[in-house]
Amino acid sequence: MMDAAVTRGQGRAQQAAAVELEHVSFRYPDGVEALRDVSLRVGVGERIALVGPNGAGKSTVLRQLNGLLTPTAGTVHVMGLPVVPANLTAVRRHIGYVFQDADDQLFCPTVLEDVAFGPLHLGLPTEEVLRCVRRALELVGLVGYERRVPQRLSAGEKALVALATVLSYSADVLVLDEPSASLDPKNRRRLLTVLADLGRTQLVATHDLDFAWEHCPRTVLLADGRVVADGRTFDLLANAELLEPHGLELPLRLQGRLESRRG
């Protein structure tokens, strides 16, 4: 059923890899096999969406990248470094991980301290840290929030602060788990604009197929812990026959076109 557009990995052999998973499997302690022989190569500067139903393995893939989870089998590399205990400090300098729930990421008394956490731990001088914080907050539109208490912000504001915490230390690879889930339309648009302007490698796990359509030229479909399809977003997400067996629907923008044609 797969045509050339959804054949995984075509044409990428010569591209430098920012992230590479080779034959990765992962089993949770309760015996649930979350990943089954997943291979995925992300070129430097690529923006890739990971889509699939609940339980497909999207978040589990992301957590392999900074050592939050360790593969049961297979290997993971980030910017050429094997993701193994001895390399975790170096690997995590390359990875900016934005959690699905911002409350898991924001733990300091003020926004300033949360956003400064990364640069401080890189050993940057205070003046440079403050410049990094201001630049990150400018990107997400939250200058003036420095003294605010993160726990008292709205869900959308928290999500943008969580993004600022990784933008502040210029990570090479951004890993985002459901980044648009808690955003209103205005902040969702701001997030899309910020991410599009960054020019960094991005791996985005999302149920928001319109977000994937707008932002990610390449999409990987996961189901039951396996890669089902890997190809151009416009081809995969316009393919109802591919999406429907995995509990997914066409992006809303495409559903609207179909309804207008029927009318």
**Cα–Cα distance, 222 to 226 (Å, whole number):** 5
Phi, psi of 240 (to 5 degrees): -60, -35
- Averaged over 184-191, what is the pLDDT? 87
**Cα–Cα distance, 263 to 257 (Å, whole number):** 10
**Cα–Cα distance, 141 to 21 (Å, whole number):** 34
pLDDT at 194 over 60: yes
Domain for residue 147, yes or no?
Answer: yes
Phi, psi of 40 (to 5 degrees): -155, 130
**Which band of pLDDT confidence, cut at 50, 70 and 90, is reported for residue 78?**
very high
Highest mean pLDDT among 180-184, 194-198, 220-224: 220-224
Domain for residue 101, yes or no?
Answer: yes
Q: Which residues contact 82 (CB under 8 A, 6 or more apart)?
A: 75, 76
* 11-20, 63-72, 139-148, 195-204, range with the lowest pLDDT: 11-20
Structural domain tally of the chain?
Answer: 1
Domain for residue 257, yes or no?
Answer: no
- Averaged over 200-225, what is the pLDDT? 96
pLDDT of residue 244: 95
Domain for residue 15, yes or no?
Answer: no
Domain span holding position 183: 23-249
pLDDT digits (tens, 9 = 90+) for 247-258: 999 998 888 665
- Averaged over 231-238, what is the pLDDT? 96
CATH of the domain at 233: 3.40.50.300
**Which band of pLDDT confidence, cut at 50, 70 and 90, is reported for residue 186?**
confident
pLDDT of residue 144: 95
**Cα–Cα distance, 89 to 86 (Å, whole number):** 8
Q: Which residues contact 184 (CB under 8 A, 6 or more apart)?
A: 156
pLDDT of residue 60: 96
Looking at every residue in the chain, the average pLDDT score rounds to 90
Domain for residue 202, yes or no?
Answer: yes
- Averaged over 134-163, what is the pLDDT? 93
From the CB of residue 137, how many other CB atoms can be counted at a distance below 10 Å? 22
pLDDT at 179 over 80: yes
pLDDT at 162 over 80: yes
Domain for residue 14, yes or no?
Answer: no
**Which band of pLDDT confidence, cut at 50, 70 and 90, is reported for residue 96?**
very high
- Averaged over 231-259, what is the pLDDT? 89
Domain for residue 263, yes or no?
Answer: no
pLDDT at 15 over 80: no
pLDDT at 262 over 60: no
pLDDT of residue 122: 85
Domain for residue 41, yes or no?
Answer: yes
pLDDT of residue 2: 43
pLDDT at 183 over 90: no
